[in-house]
Amino acid sequence: MQFEKSKKSMQEARQVLVGGVNSPVRAFRNLNVPAPFIKRGEGAYLYDEDNNRYLDYVLSWGPLLLGHLDSDVVEAMKKQLSLGITFGAPTALETELALLVREFFPVMEKIRFVSSGTEAIMSAIRVARGFTSRNLIVKFDGCYHGHADSLLVKAGSGMLTHAHPDSAGVSEATASSTLVAEFNNLDSVRNLFLARKGEIACVLLEPVTGNMGVIAPEPGFLEGLRTLCDEHNSLLIFDEVMTGFRVTMGGACELYGVKPDMVCLGKIIGGGMPVGAYGGKKEIMSLVSPEGPVYQAGTLSGNPLGMACGLATLQKIRKMNPYGNICDFVTNLKDGLGELLKKKGIEYTINSVGGMFTLFFTKGPVRSKSSVDLHDKELFQKFFEGMLQEGIYLPCSQYEAVFVSVKHTSLELEMTLTAAKKVLQAI
C-alpha cells in the first residue's frame, strides 16, 4: 500500500495539532507504518486519502455496531438536520431516547445525557461522593475511564500504549483520593475497604474490560463487589461505555445479572455522535441539579442531532437483535486465528465477550493487567503492521479491544483469515 497523502496530511497536521492528532492513540506511535488519514467509511470498510481500502475492526472504537453509514441512521440525521442542529433547550427526542435506554438498563431509573463517556463517569463519581458524603473511590489497575484527573491513576488504553504510569498535571492530592485494586481479585478490594473503612464512596469498573484488552469478570467477581459495596454502604458503578448495547442490549448488567447502583454509557447510544449518559436509582440521581445539590451541566448535553442518531441506532439494533450472528462471527474468527497461530507455534490467548475480542501474544490465561503485561509487544507490532498492509484495520494498541459490526460477514471473515495467514507466514 502507498501512504503518500496520509504522510503529507500528518506532516501538515503536526504544524497545528498536538502530535498531529486529537486523541493520542491515533498517532501510531512506535509503529513503522504511517497513520492512515481516513476519507470515508461504508459498511465494514474505511477508505483513506490514498484510496486504500481497509476492513474496519475499530469501528470508531466501538460505537458503529451497524457499520458505517447505515441508511436508517443517516436518514434520521438528515431529518433532524432539516429541523436544526442544536437549541440549548429541551426536546422530546431526549425523553424518547432515555426511555429506550431505561428499557434495557432498568437500574437507570433516572438518566442525565452528557457529551462523552468521560463526562458521564466524572459526573457519576461526583454524584456518588455527594450521596455518600465520602471522598475515596476504588478503580482497577488497567481500567481506563476517561481523562478526568482522579481517573488517570493506573489507567489503561492510551495511557498504557504511551508508557505514562500516571499523567503529568494530576496533583498528588487528587491522585490520593483514588485507590487501586486488581481486576478479578476480590481480596484486593476487600483489603481496601478494611484499610479505609467508612471512607470509600464507590467502586468503579468496566465489568468487561476493554481498555487493557478484553478481559471478562471471573465467576463471583462482580457478585462479590456487589456484596462488598452493600456491606460498606458504598456505591457500585459500572462503566458500560464500551459494553452497553455492545455485548447484549442490556450490556454487562444483563449478561452477568448483577445490578449496580449506577451505570455510565457512551459510544453506541450516540450511534457515532458524541453522546454519553449516566443514571441510577432515583434516590441517587435526585441529588443532581436542578433537583439536588450536585451540580452538572452542559450546553450540548442532549444535542438533538446526537439524540436522533442514537435513537435510530438503538431502535434498529432492537429490531435486528444481531448479537447471535456477531458472536458466531467472533467465534469463527477466534477459531481460525487460533488454528493459524498453533501451526506457527506462537503462544497466544484470545479473550472475547459478545462483539468484542482481543488477541494477546502471550500464554493464557489473561485475567488482569499483570497477565496482559506479559504479551509480546514486538510480535504484536509486526502482526499489526502486516495486517494493515493487507488492508485489515485493527486497533493500533495491544491494550484495545477489536470490534465487530453487523456488516462483518463470511466474506470479511475469509478476508481476515487469508490476510492473517499471509502475515504470520512472513513473520
Question: Residue 142: which residues within 8 A CB-CB, separation 6 or more?
Answer: 154, 155, 156, 160, 183, 209, 211, 212, 368, 369, 372, 399
Q: Which residues are catalytic?
A: 144, 239, 267
For residue 27, the enclosing domain spans 1-49
Do residue 154 and residue 289 come from a single domain?
yes
Q: Give the per-residue pLDDT at 167.
A: 60
pLDDT digits (tens, 9 = 90+) for 77-99: 999 999 999 999 999 999 999 99
Which of 112-126, 161-175, 204-218, 334-348 bottoms out in mean pLDDT, i.e. has the lowest? 161-175
- Phi, psi dihedral angles at 21 (to 5 degrees): -140, 170
Residue 166 reports pLDDT greater than 70? no
Do residue 184 and residue 226 come from a single domain?
yes
Average pLDDT over residues 306-325: 98
Do residue 96 and residue 227 come from a single domain?
yes
Examine residue 57 and state whether it is found in any structural domain, yes or no: no
Residue 238 reports pLDDT greater than 60? yes
The CATH number for 347's domain is: 3.90.1150.10
Q: Give the per-residue pLDDT at 53.
A: 98
pLDDT digits (tens, 9 = 90+) for 41-84: 999 999 999 999 999 999 999 999 999 999 999 999 999 999 99
Q: Give the type of residue at 340.
A: L
Which of 131-140, 151-160, 341-350 bottoms out in mean pLDDT, i.e. has the lowest? 151-160
Residue 147 reports pLDDT greater than 90? no
Question: Is beta strand 402-403 parallel, antiparallel or unpaired with respect to 356-360?
Answer: antiparallel
Residue 159 reports pLDDT greater than 70? no
Top-confidence residue, 160 or 249: 249
Do 237 and 264 contact (CB within 8 A), yes or no?
A: yes
The last residue of one of the domains, among 293, 319, 345, is: 319
Residue 162 reports pLDDT greater than 60? no
Residue 32 reports pLDDT greater than 80? yes
Give the span between the Cα atoms of 255 and 164, in whole angstroms: 33
Give the span between the Cα atoms of 399 and 177, in whole angstroms: 25
269, with CB counted inside 10 A (0-12, 13-18, 19+), is buried
Examine residue 116 and state whether it is found in any structural domain, yes or no: yes
What's the pLDDT band for 364 if we cut at 50, 70, 90? confident
Do residue 283 and residue 135 come from a single domain?
yes
Do residue 284 and residue 344 come from a single domain?
no
Average pLDDT over residues 128-156: 82
The CATH number for 188's domain is: 3.40.640.10
Task: Give CA 355 to chain center in angstroms.
Answer: 12
What's the pLDDT band for 176 if we cut at 50, 70, 90? confident
Q: What percent of the chain has pLDDT over 70?
A: 95
Examine residue 63 and state whether it is found in any structural domain, yes or no: no
Query: Looking at the 3D structure of the chain, how many domains does it have?
Result: 3
pLDDT digits (tens, 9 = 90+) for 257-272: 999 999 999 999 999 9
pLDDT digits (tens, 9 = 90+) for 374-415: 999 999 999 999 999 999 999 998 889 999 999 999 999 999
Q: What percent of the chain has pLDDT over 90?
A: 85
Q: Give the per-residue pLDDT at 146.
A: 79
Q: Give the per-residue pLDDT at 142.
A: 87
Do 304 and 93 contact (CB within 8 A), yes or no?
A: yes
Average pLDDT over residues 128-153: 86
Do residue 344 and residue 297 come from a single domain?
no
Do 412 and 335 contact (CB within 8 A), yes or no?
A: no
Q: Give the per-residue pLDDT at 156.
A: 46
Examine residue 61 and state whether it is found in any structural domain, yes or no: no
Do residue 17 and residue 140 come from a single domain?
no
Q: Give the per-residue pLDDT at 165.
A: 42
